[in-house]
Amino acid sequence: MVRPKVANIVSSHARDGGFTLIEIAIVLAIIGIAAALAGPNLMSLYARYELYQTTTSLHRTLLMARSAAIARNTVITATLSNLPNGQGQVTFNTVVTAEPFPLTVGFVLPPPAQPIGFTSRGLSTTPFATQTIQLQSLRNPNLIYTISLTPAGKVTWCNQAVNPCLVQSG
């Protein structure tokens, strides 16, 4: 009976598994380069997402306020303001709850002092002018979205800095 040499079997298995330090370093370098290239694109994408979410949420809230004004046969107004921490907020005079913005989204200019709103017939409280709100990403100041309220009470938003916004995006 011939016995196999144990030393040869163990040493051949030890050489077959694992990675060398150079192979691990190359993989980590490739991952690092990919992350460095993707980082700015991800930040821009996230800034666009935050601004989109804030704009569409405010748009929906204004549409709800218009519907509530008609249904309750009352005037509903919204006051745009900046909180002490720099955060933007829209506060309504009645049943609609206040809508704070994320800290990374603000008004392009100081918000208008005059409240915006709807009459009991769903028309704008400013009958002779289109009211415009422009929101800006603080992560990427080049991103500006616009919400407009026409005298007829139509609320639209655009994913660009235009005054007034006539075409709804979505």
What is the distance of C-alpha 53 from the center of its chain?
A: 4
pTM: 0.73
Is residue 33 classed exposed, middle or buried when 0-12, 13-18 and 19+ CB atoms within 10 A define those classes?
exposed
Assess contact for 149 and 124: CB atoms under 8 A. Answer: yes
Map tokens 């519907």 to a residue: 67
Split at pLDDT 50, 70, 90, the class of 109 is confident
**The pLDDT of residue 145 is above 60:** yes
Strand partners, 136: 106, 144
Q: What is the CATH number of domain 19-158?
A: 3.55.40.10
**The pLDDT of residue 90 is above 90:** no
